[in-house]
Structure 1
Amino acid sequence: MTDTGTPTTVRLHDLACRRDRDEWIVGRLATGRFVALPEAGKRVIDLLQAGLSVPEAGARLKQDTGEDVDVPEFVTALMDLEFVAEADGRPVPAAAMKPPPLAGLRPHQVRWTLHPALPAAAGTLLAAALLLIGVRPDLSLDFRTLLWTSHGSLVIALGAAAGWTLLLLHELAHLLTARATGVPGRIELGTRLQFLVLQTDISGIELASRRHRLTAYLAGVTVNLTVFALAVLAAAAAAPGTLPHRVLLAVALTALLPLPFQLMVFMRTDVYFVLQDLTGCRDLYGDGRAYAAYAARRLMRRKPRPGSPAGDPSALLPSHERRAVRIYAVVLVVGTAVCLGFLAAITVPADLTLLSGAVRDLSSGRSLSSVLDAAAVLVFLGGLHVLWLVTWLRTRRQMPEPLKNL
């Protein structure tokens, strides 16, 4: 062990890597932790994996490149990332990893999800469906499409069944395409501002090729559009006005309803990750928040908090990221303000009215039906808010670190 407490010899876990512009993305697919390294950092990892000790790796790097890298400090950072399996011959303790869902599903079994023929087929189906909608008035979609029967309970039942099925298929598509690249993936509850969402953590997909990354990001949207297209094509084959015709069109519109939410990139939706990838940003959301906070301080002429950077944080970013981060910061502030304004003006008053009315009806006990109705409101609406809070607290503790330079 060196004088600084850093081990002299280390054995690294299996690490995946790919070149990204003038840097290397290196990480562990098993844990979803990854980091951006300069060429010198990648060279140190190669030397350590070749069996050189920590001092030998530093000496070899200086001999080959002339760069004087603090390899012991670098190795300490690798240990913090849980990239080191053994130090001086002893196993390095690491956090226990939960088995991923569908653990028996291997990458080669779902490799077909990455085939370029799939998006081409989905695009063909979508184009055919849109063409039919344009030429056949009986296939037009509006709010009345969802009201396919006069029985409200059946309308709600179909909407719930189709909506939850589509949601699970949407997230399963993310999981399968990520698994095909070797990323385990995990489906879990999460929050986006005031919204409770089902989401798939595919941390580690950054190590895949760009085509595979974009496929994984857009897999869910592709599923929604494919279901929409298939439902429209099936409805076109049914007699207009019949029950199958009306039900299929209701399913088609239900498949489209979640897609506007994906355009809210200020909440890190599927389209956000596409945008982040195409702009080449490491942490578009985090850097956008930092720049928005800096701009707000300047506007209000306030001093930064202790420990916060005093200057423009975007000035430290590469030029290709700087403009994207500043534009995104505007979208982030405006979008967040609109969502929270809607929450304050519409959602909270409506929920408080329902909850207070339920408490009043429950305490008065005027009739059995009013008591049952009030209990249902308290259980479902109150439970939803409690679930949101619990999920919000959990995700804040477990949120994966964004890709940063090391």
Structure 2
Amino acid sequence: MVFTYETHVTLKQLAIRKDQKHYIVEDVMNGEFYEMPEVCIVAIELINHKRSLDEVEKALLVKYPDEDIEILNFVSQLLELNLISKLNGEEILSGSVQKNQTGFLWLPQTLGRFFFNPISSKMYFLLLIASAGLILFNQDLFPRYFDLFVFDLMFQNIVALLVVSFFLVILHEFGHVLAVRSEGLPAKIEVGNRLFFVVLETDMSQVWKLPAEKRNKLYLAGMNFDIVVLFLALSAQIFTSESTLTMGLLKLIVLDTLIRLFYQAAVFMKTDLYYVIENNSGCYNLMENGRNYLAKWLPFLRVPDTETFAEEEKVVRRYAVFYLAGILLTFIITAYYYIPQMMFAVNEIMMPGFFEPITSIRFWDSVVFLLQVLLVSGLLIYSWTKKYRLSS
């Protein structure tokens, strides 16, 4: 669509909030949020005051002489974002529909505030320190790779891990839900995916209605619930006999929880800690900009269509260090836990099982485990080759 300086523009209902460095613009109808610099906000205000596009551009050139002002391009971008309702008095048809902001509204705000308030935040931190103290004073509590093997059969171990992980992930996400509800906002748990794996994730898009200083509580809520689980499972081990099923399950819970907490520091993925860093820095494309910075030396990391503001360059360089540290942490976790677990499963469970009679449950346990390994390996290889084909 071609715009001229005589084009009359009517914008949708927008809510504008000052953020740390720029502004957050909300499309009130469909609940979408956009980050914009001050010059864009002034342009929107002038358009809302029925100023012609020619007048808007001249006013912006006077107020922001160092900026590259092209009001027609800006209006074109607003149209692409579905933020324009009328052009020259004619309605603009768009595919966006009004969203009803619902989700766990039956949970009272007071319940959320019981778990997430200034006092509870300090208690979660103290529980983290206490958990670290328990492990330091009793190093047998630190999870080992063989804690995965609660049962003799791999099928039982896999089922136990899936059940434990499912309930712990639900609890993690419910922490986010309660934190969102503590601010009186709706939240919902959605089903997403990471590669070929189904995951649960909390839609917290409404956090942009809050000032930056209140968002961290929502981002850290799931980790705080993980810390409670970790402390309780560690403490319970002190009062549990070693050679019992309960002890085995407690060790599995600690193993699963601690690894997921470690992974939060792998900020080359968009973990909860990544969003805390992003929120504190005010750089909301931190991962993409960090990858492009590292692409000077690692070209395969480059991400198209990203822009780093001049004042963000120092933050991006610092994040790039954490990005690489997160990758290193992932290799360490793999070397310390996943590779030994696989070697133990193959050498101590799968291979001996193949020497059992074909009528033995251990033989079929080994067959099922081998098929699972082949399936997962095949899916990973396929995803890597697909990603390579798309990038080449």
TM above 0.5, one fold? Answer: yes
Residue 328 of structure 1 aligns with an amino acid whose one-letter code is Y
SS in 2 for 1:329: helix
Superposition map of 1:27-46 within 5 A = 27-28=26-27, 33-46=32-45
Q: Is the 8 A contact 2:127 2:228 kept in 1?
A: yes
Residue 78 of structure 1 aligns with an amino acid whose one-letter code is L
Q: Is the 8 A contact 1:190 1:392 kept in 2?
A: no
Match of 1:382 among 356, 364, 375: 375
Q: Residues of 2 paired with 1:140 and 1:342: CA distance?
A: 17
Superposition map of 1:108-147 within 5 A = 108=109, 112=113, 114-130=116-132, 137=138, 140-143=141-144, 146=147
What is the alpha-carbon root mean square deviation over aligned residues? 5.3
Residue 93 of structure 1 aligns with an amino acid whose one-letter code is S
Superposition map of 1:282-293 within 5 A = 282-293=284-295
Q: Residues of 2 paired with 1:178 and 1:373: CA distance?
A: 45
Superposition map of 1:7-406 within 5 A = 8-21=8-21, 23-28=22-27, 33-48=32-47, 52=50, 54-55=52-53, 58=56, 61=59, 65=63, 70-87=70-87, 88-95=89-96, 102=103, 104=105, 108=109, 112=113, 114-130=116-132, 137=138, 140-143=141-144, 146=147, 157-178=159-180, 180=183, 182=185, 184=187, 187-191=190-194, 198-203=200-205, 205-235=207-237, 238=239, 241=242, 243=244, 246=247, 249-250=250-251, 251-296=253-298, 317-319=309-311, 321-332=312-323, 336=327, 374=367, 377-378=370-371, 382=375, 386=379
Give 1:213 deviation, angstroms: 1.8
1:75/1:147 CA distance change after superposition, 3 Å: closer
Q: Which moved more, 1:204-213 or 1:332-341?
A: 332-341
Q: Residues of 1 paired with 2:148 and 2:296: CA distance?
A: 48
Q: Residues of 2 paired with 1:328 and 1:35: CA distance?
A: 22
Give 1:280 deviation, angstroms: 3.3
Runs (5+) with no aligned partner, structure 2: 351-357
Give 1:225 deviation, angstroms: 0.4
Give 1:93 deviation, angstroms: 0.7
Q: How many residues align?
A: 366
Q: Residues of 2 paired with 1:367 and 1:241: CA distance?
A: 33
Give 1:100 deviation, angstroms: 7.8
1:373/1:295 CA distance change after superposition, 3 Å: closer
Q: Residues of 2 paired with 1:144 and 1:380: CA distance?
A: 18
SS in 2 for 1:189: strand
Q: Residues of 1 paired with 2:310 and 2:214: CA distance?
A: 25
Q: Which moved more, 1:87-96 or 1:283-292?
A: 87-96
Q: Which moved more, 1:379-388 or 1:115-124?
A: 379-388
SS in 1 for 2:296: helix
Q: Residues of 2 paired with 1:53 and 1:184: CA distance?
A: 39
Identity of aligned residues (%): 22
Deviation digits for residues 127-182 of structure 1 (CA, Å, limit 9, x no counterpart): 455556666x5983443993796655665544332222111222333344346474
Q: Is the 8 A contact 2:141 2:234 kept in 1?
A: no
Q: Residues of 1 paired with 2:136 and 2:369: CA distance?
A: 43
Q: Residues of 2 paired with 1:114 and 1:183: CA distance?
A: 16
1:175/1:97 CA distance change after superposition, 3 Å: farther
SS in 2 for 1:258: helix
For 1:361, the equivalent position in structure 2 comes to none
Deviation digits for residues 278-311 of structure 1 (CA, Å, limit 9, x no counterpart): 33323221112212223457xxxxxxx9x989xx
1:189/1:70 CA distance change after superposition, 3 Å: same
Deviation digits for residues 306-364 of structure 1 (CA, Å, limit 9, x no counterpart): x989xxx99x6324x22332343355457558868999xx98xx89xx9xxx9xxxxxx
Runs (5+) with no aligned partner, structure 1: 298-304, 359-365, 398-406
Q: Residues of 2 paired with 1:167 and 1:388: CA distance?
A: 26
Q: Name which structure has the greater RCO, CA cutoff 8 Å, separation 6+.
A: 1
Residue 309 of structure 2 aligns with an amino acid whose one-letter code is L
